[in-house]
Amino acid sequence: MPHAKRYFIEGYDPSNWGDVLMATSSASIVQAVDPTALVVFSRALPYDPVVQNTIFAATNISEDYGHKPSWLPFSKQKRPFEITASAKRARNGDVVVFCNGYIFGDPWPTRWIEKLANAFESLHKRGVKIILMPQSFGPFENADRIKIFEKIIHSSQIVFTRDGRSMDYLHHSGLRGLNVFEAIDYTGTLNFNPAFANLGKQENRLAIIPNVKIREKYGDDAAADYIQLLSSLSRRVIWDYGLDVSLIHHTAGKDEAMITGIASQIDADVSIVKLDPLATRRYIGESQLVVSSRFHGVMNALTQNVPVISLGWSHKYSEIMKLYGAQDYSIIGTDYAEVPKLLDTLISHRANIRETLSRANATLISQQLDRIKQQFSNAINN
């Protein structure tokens, strides 16, 4: 008698709210495509227990071998992107749903990518289907790395890129395949918690979501300028526009020093917000405006029609802003000279921007989500 099909949700970092939202929404897609699916969250989810139980109640959760339903099917993690011991025991017909947002590109160490490629190849040879959910790719400049990425694509049943630039990077490097498709990041479609669907009133606040990656990528001097910029923007909206300011943790503490540094320079009352991933998303949705350097902070704003300035460090930021027609409010790098003017414009035109985002969401999410589900279904059933 064939065993029940298991879906291993892999590749997410439990300390990164964007990864957790992607893992959670991917489980929702699995359940929509295969209502009998046994879903394994291979790493702990940082949700409030009540919220977590709601999520798991909407999904058949399994432990390693899929027979005993459990709300704690987690295995010990190494690096967040690595395939866990649970998934390595997957059998013919099982599915690995890989949810890391950005690991395949030159910014990351070759040894990390090679380890993943070997794990993917081993699973593929055993008849395990690998689905790379929407993520960013590239750039690819190193010929040896390109060969590693070829192994990843050939081992995967289907690969979703989440932006056009990523698709271009794959094509220009010769990394083509009939199994590669462009698809939107769908974390804005979460529907596990019925109460979550109904946002409260718009609060009179600017939500700021910093990212320690600015320091890691550009150095201490750039980080000091970044902190000064966000502090200055906070003072301006408090004093000139009468808005409140909230500094939001979009991780489980990675941005702590950055947030503390910003708050110390504002010289006014601000809120420092630490919530679980879904509650954080809702808090962003109930804000008037957002300035974010976390990708899914940007996504949480865009998909809830909240005007946002994106201060990013890679093409994934500019690409998603362009998709929503908000490219004028996207900055990549550390040239922040225009940001104060962008904030003034954002505030002045926020009603129109909300309408633009609402129209975009009405078509982008619904149309692309249906297509993703169909392609996902085709991949697991072929």
CATH of 6-192+363-381 given 3.30.70, 1.10.3470, 3.40.50, 2.40.160:
3.40.50
C-beta separation of 53 from 71 below 8 A? yes
Instruction: Identify the weakest region by mean pLDDT among 51-60, 97-106, 158-167.
Output: 51-60
Give me the helices (H) in the chain, please.
17-33, 49-57, 85-88, 110-125, 143-155, 164-172, 213-218, 220-239, 256-264, 277-285, 295-302, 315-323, 339-348, 350-381
Percentage of the chain exceeding pLDDT 70: 89
Burial class (CB within 10 angstroms; exposed 0-12, middle 13-18, buried 19+) of 58 = middle
pLDDT of residue 199: 60
Residue 350 has pLDDT above 90, yes or no: yes
pLDDT at 148 over 70: yes
- Do the domains spanning 6-192+363-381 and 199-348 agree at the CATH topology level? yes
What pLDDT is attached to residue 136? Answer: 92
In the chain, what are the domain boundaries?
Answer: 6-192+363-381, 199-348
* Residue 366 confidence (pLDDT): 73
- 54-75 pLDDT, tens digit per residue, is 666 655 654 343 333 333 344 4
The structure's pTM equals 0.91
List the one residue out of 216, 224, 237 whose CA is nearest residue 264: 224
Cα→Cα distances 52→146, 163, 276, 295, Å? 39, 30, 10, 23
Q: What is the pLDDT of residue 65?
A: 31
What's the pLDDT score for residue 356? 95
The mean predicted confidence, pLDDT, of the chain is 88
Residue 321 near residue 309 (C-beta atoms within 8 A): no
pLDDT at res. 58: 59
Task: Determine the pLDDT at residue 1.
Answer: 43
In angstroms, the CA 68 to CA 257 distance is 42
Q: What is the layout of strands, in order, in the sheet containing 289-292?
A: 271-273, 244-248, 205-209, 289-292, 308-312, 330-332
Helix, coil or strand: residue 306: coil
- Listed residue (97, 220, 214, 209) closest to 160, CA to CA: 97
pLDDT of residue 295: 97
> Beta 38-41 vs 6-10: how paired, if at all?
parallel
What is the fold of 199-348? Answer: Rossmann fold (3.40.50)
